[in-house]
Amino acid sequence: MKTEPDAWPSLIRQSVKTLEELANQIELTEEEKIQITDKLPLRITHYYLDLIKKFPVLRKTVIPTLSEFKISDGESNDPLKEEGYNPTKCIVHKYPDRALFLVTNFCSVNCRYCTRSRIFDEPTDTLSTISKHDIDDAIKYIAEHKELRDIIISGGDPLTLSDGNLEYILQKIRAIEHIEIIRIGTKVPVVLPQRINSKLVNMLKKYHPLYMSIHFTHPDEITTECSTALNKIANAGIVMRSQTVLLKDVNDNVETMKNLMHKLLINRVVPYYIYQCDRIIGSQHFRTDIEKGIEIIRGLRGYTSGYAVPQFIFDTEVGKIPINPDYISKIEDDRVVFKNFRGESTDYYL
Give pLDDT tens digits for 195-209. 999 999 999 999 999
Give pLDDT tens digits for 133-161. 999 999 999 999 999 999 999 999 999 99
pLDDT for position 37: 67
Buried/exposed code over 235-269 (b: 16+ C-beta within 10 A; e: otherwise) = ebebbbbbbbbbbeebbbebebbbbbbbbbbebeb
* Cα distances (angstroms) measured from residue 350 to each of 327, 333, 337, 344: 17, 8, 11, 19
Mean pLDDT score across all residues of the chain:
94
Query: In which element (H, E) is residue 92 found?
Result: strand 91-92
Half-sphere exposure of 27 toward its Cβ, with a 13 Å CA cutoff? 2
With CA atoms as reference, report the closest residue to 31 among 76, 70, 5: 70
Buried/exposed code over 96-124 (b: 16+ C-beta within 10 A; e: otherwise) = eebbbbbbbbbbbbbbbbbbbbbbbeeee
CATH architecture type of domain 8-325: Alpha-Beta Barrel (3.20)
Q: What is the CA radius of gyration of the chain?
A: 21
User: pLDDT grade, residue 350 (50/70/90)?
Assistant: confident
| pTM for the whole structure | 0.94
CB atoms within 10 A of CB 294: 15
Whole-number percent of the chain with pLDDT over 70:
96
